[in-house]
Structure 1
């Protein structure tokens, strides 16, 4: 802010001149004192300059509605929505989300620095306040086959970008615990730049929490219980309560929140598909859940706004007070969190559940390298997925847990055969992870239980975090057809039955993002899920989302990689038998 701008704001605050905008007849939520304020809101240059009695060049009548600070999503991967940052903004602004802290590690695992640059450039074209944390673990573990490797020296230049707030979820806990040189440099670079460090402490012991805090890691979004939350809070961390498309932890963690510790909690979505964002919402949904579960509404809205702003040093976000940006929501029903208008820096960007004004901008110019990210050495055949077994030995099987990222390792008897064939009656299906970045001809094969498919196969290039092709199916021919279809369309999601495509959702940008609007992607996803019934899927979870996390070897207990089964707790690969 320059001198001229400050003088203008001071004049408006002191009523020597009219404010640009004055909002009258609103009921203002004070997230500091937990009380209501019945005053005008004076706004100049997109900044609140006063609460009181003011006159403005423009007057907005709130008509008795409640006015609250814009919501902040404390940790989100935009790529999980399958749309670009511009389209993501159109989806969340009507829900009252005005600020997000995003980690672009999905596209970074595919395209490295170019992927990060693309996301930042896109973010600058939308009124949504998009801040970035730099991917700390690309790849997520040293043995992973990602499309890129980002070392400390690769990340350091990005700290010069104004949108970058710090180092994103540090998930390679082995490197942290052992003080591995490049990880130490990443941690030091973030602190030297005056930035924050996010954690990823899924299933870790209190000893490892101590180590993470010693490394000055500030947050964790992998908390699943009250006890885990309190362990982190008492060690000085912030806890993000997560409600994504798969991981739904808010209600299980909420009992840890009380009047004394509430300022150390806030909300995040982490990974949420665009169809869920459009139908269910974002942080607004979590605020509503918390209120319905009995949390005081003032606390719930504080968790949705102020707390994340304080954690990340966003000094002008999260409250309605002089000096804060005019990121405001008009709410007609405080308990149901009914957002009727969203304002960012004093400008209306969404109204009546639709993005308006500057939020409608759309310019898409991805680097050509981002459009050519599926690189199999050659089309695959069903023979490439044959899996020899010993009928005399037990088999290690991945047991999925619906609507959770965690899995379980179970042991089942091998069938009387030397080549494994999926067993539909026992729900033992084949899972495959195929390297797709550099044509390495590397495929990991295993067995998974819990999908309930009766025929066909599904596959996707979204497989956290290295984003190789991952497929599950009832026969090798359909698995091969699904993998080949993804090569043909440049990445995405597909459903195959009897060798034929039932439906696909192309994601040509890095195999992760569509070049289409959020609405068109939503419609295509609806068709995709309708086609799942044709292959027998009947359960109440998203099979593509569940599948996409089965290749993430930093979430317990057992996962699949391009080189086979991986036991997360022992942090080593294990044999099928």
Structure 2
């Protein structure tokens, strides 16, 4: 009404109204503190002596973008990731910190929440819903039911993260069902993961109260889930890119868009620098034929409708929080100004607000609890001269199958065979200090290195070491222990590339630019030396991942996922 004067007025806006699917010209927006007070043709009644007025000059104005499902406990600290996300117009992140919890439990979850606070972006969290992946084999930390109940009392914790072992729901596994019931009783959101589920299994999963999925890789899967009342997050991230497969069919089918969103599911530093974030999804969708207003609604309004936050976020209207983007045009979709809560945080492609690096508790940098290694720690012994070995055959960086090969022992020891592309692979418990480990054989890696080691592996966080030379495997392991986490490539006793991940063994405390450079060098070094795969960093990341078939390795042994049984390395 103008009784209080605005802090900021934006005038001459071409407003993208996500509520009416239209572009409204010559709009003025008045903002008081962090909320929008007025949207209309004339905000002059809110103008006061201290009001800042910005003439948008007929540029396009939209609500801020959101990523409804990603893992920000990867690569860089939240304070570093935020710098890149804001430049892409992303003002809200919905984080599932599953790997922080798998390493550091409830204490780690609480500490990670603090790292996301007091930043010029909105970070919402969920309690990880997928731990342990398989109680028979998993070595990860997880939250108890009472800890989950305590966690959701935090104002930025919205509910349960992706329940990706959907068989736990269809088989009514007690802990999972209690978690779901507890969340529903508190009116919390529960995120889904339904890869491989269909028909009655999918019906059962949805009936439990889990109403979203980011796993559909084609339109048929999208449509089946939409028909059952689910919300779909179309994934366009570093692990999978599904947008081009889905959007054209959405258009030709005439599908309602109000339950469709974009998500990244996580981005590596090179991808966010090359492609962008949710802004990339909007650009790609527009190029594929989606109307700009619809693409922007999927990037903003729909996310907050799903999370039951539409009264505060997702559009530009009176009473809403003032998370606002200004674009020069609707093709490049690169915001030249970004406001979060009415405060300017990006101008002309640069961050114009302070982003403080948080203090990290010292214990978070001491999670690699392993003794110094020697080459003898990687020996595989046999009294037989010739043995038939079971191998983990790499079909892709992620997909494996059981293989077999004949190997020869020398002086009672079986070595890897670089000529035959047979490698040793080892998994060590580096979290609990148990010294539990397993060693087996891996096939079809195809690069000329001595060792590749990593402490970052999805949801188990064993240290994984792949090698053709036992001494190099020891050098790689000791380098990681010294750094308290990371990835490293070794050949002939020399370190060729290293990416330190000092924070919980899965996140670097270095700058985004330094991490990006080290990450690129890791992959390029392995690829340039002959690796069969373009993204070799994914191999140790997924080797212990029990949610995928067919063969995985953990510190407890080599696992046949479908049979839920251990496989011996040598028959």
TM-score by length of 2: 0.91
Alpha-carbon separation, structure 2, partners of 1:421 and 1:255: 51
Q: Tell me by how many angstroms 1:29 deviates.
A: 1.1
Three-state SS of the structure 1 residue aligned to 2:552 is strand
**Partner deviation per Cα, 1:156-215 (whole Å, 9 max, x = no partner):** 101110001110111233432332322222111111111011112222343322221121
Correspondence for 2:17 among 14, 30, 49: 30
1:380–1:483 Cα contact (<8 Å) kept: no
- Post-superposition shift, 1:383? 4.6
Deviation at 1:534, TM superposition (A): 6.2
Residue 43 of structure 2: aligned partner: 54
Alpha-carbon contact 1:459-1:472 (below 8 Å) kept: yes
Aligned-partner SS, 1:49: strand
Q: Give the secondary structure class of the aligned counterpart of 1:263.
A: coil
CA change 1:522–1:354 in 2 (3 A) is farther
Selected match of 2:293 from 295, 298, 302: 298
Correspondence 1:132 to 2:128: no
Residue 5 of structure 2, aligned match among 9, 14, 18: 18
CA distance in 2 between counterparts of 1:428 and 1:121 reads 45
Which has the larger displacement, 203-212 or 62-71? Answer: 203-212
**CA–CA distance in structure 2, aligned partners of residues 219 and 532 of structure 1:** 37
Cα distance in 1, alignment partners of residues 289 and 149 from structure 2 = 44
CA distance in 2, matches of 1:549, 1:330: 39
2:101 is the counterpart of 1:113: no
After superposition, the Cα gap between the structure-2 partners of 1:340 and 1:429, relative to the gap in structure 1 and judged at 3 Å, is: farther
Distance in 2 (alpha carbons) for counterparts of 1:365 and 1:521: 19
Preserved CA contact (<8 Å) 1:110 1:437? yes
2:517 to 518, 523, 541: 523
Using the alignment, how far apart are the partners of 1:516 and 1:314 within structure 2? 34
Please list, as runs of the form range in 1=range in 2, the aligned pairs for 1:240-319 lying within 5 A after superposition. 240-258=233-251, 259-315=254-310, 316-319=312-315
1:194 and 2:190 aligned = no
- Residue 333 of structure 1 aligns to a residue in which SS? coil
Q: What pairs up with 1:77-476 in 2 under 5 angstroms? A: 77-80=71-74, 82-258=75-251, 259-315=254-310, 316-357=312-353, 360-386=354-380, 393=388, 395-401=390-396, 405=398, 407-415=399-407, 421-424=415-418, 427-476=421-470
Gaps of 5+ in 2: none
Distance in 2 between the 1:380 and 1:244 partners? Answer: 38
| 1:523/1:409 CA distance change after superposition, 3 Å | closer
Within 1, Cα distance between the matches of 2:201 and 2:379? 38
Closer/same/farther in 2, CA of residues 502 and 44 from structure 1, 3 Å limit? same
SS at match of 1:337: coil
**Match in the other structure for 1:7:** none
Q: 1:209 to 1:557 in 2, by over 3 A?
A: farther
Q: State how far apart, in whole Å, the 1-side matches of 2:468 and 2:59 are.
A: 54
Give per-residue Cα distances to partners, 1:416-456, cap 9 Å, x unaligned: 56865444455443332221112222223344445431222
Stretch moving more, 252-261 or 429-438: 252-261
Structure 2 vs 1, CA of residues 392 and 119 (structure 1 numbering), >3 Å: closer, same or farther? Answer: closer
Aligned length: 557
Counterparts of 1:572 and 1:236, CA distance in 2: 36
Matches within 5 A, 1:494-533: 494-532=488-526
Contact 2:450 2:468 in 1 (8 A): yes
SS of aligned partner of 1:288: helix
| Alignment partners' CA distance in 2, 1:557 and 1:234 | 31
1:45 aligns with 33
Query: Over the residues paired in the alignment, what is the CA RMSD in angstroms?
Result: 2.5
CA separation in 1, counterparts of 2:414 and 2:326?
58
SS of aligned partner of 1:543: coil
CA contact (8 A) 2:427 2:464 kept: yes
The secondary structure found in structure 1 opposite 2:184 is helix
Shift of 1:127: 1.6
Give me the whole-angstrom Cα distance separating, in 2, the residues matched to 1:144 and 1:243.
31
Give the secondary-structure state (helix, strand or coil) at the position aligned to 1:228: helix
Alignment partner of 1:341: what SS?
strand
Q: Distance in 2 between matches of 1:190 and 1:227?
A: 30
Shift of 1:531: 3.7
Secondary structure of residue in 1 paired with 2:7 = strand
1:186 aligns to what SS in structure 2? helix
The DSSP-based 3-state class of the residue aligned with 1:480 is helix
Could you say if the C-alpha distance between residues 549 and 538 of structure 1 is closer, same or farther in structure 2, counting changes exceeding 3 Å? closer
Q: Distance in 2 between matches of 1:385 and 1:105?
A: 33
The separation in 1 between residues aligned to 2:453 and 2:256, in whole angstroms, is: 43
Determine the C-alpha separation between the residues in 2 that align with 1:226 and 1:385: 49
Say if 2:378 and 2:426, in contact at 8 Å, map to a contact too: no
Distance in 1 of aligned mates of 2:561 and 2:236 = 23
User: How far off its partner does 1:59 sit?
Assistant: 0.8
Distance 1:326 1:222 in 2: 31
Q: Distance in 2 between matches of 1:368 and 1:208?
A: 45
Q: In 2, distance between residues paired with 1:382 and 1:256?
A: 56
Aligned mates of 1:354, 1:411 — CA distance in 2:
51
CA deviation map 1:36-73 (0-9, x unaligned): 01111221122122221113311112123211211100
> 1 CA distance for matches of 2:341 and 2:385?
65
Show structure 1 runs of 5+ residues with no match.
1-13
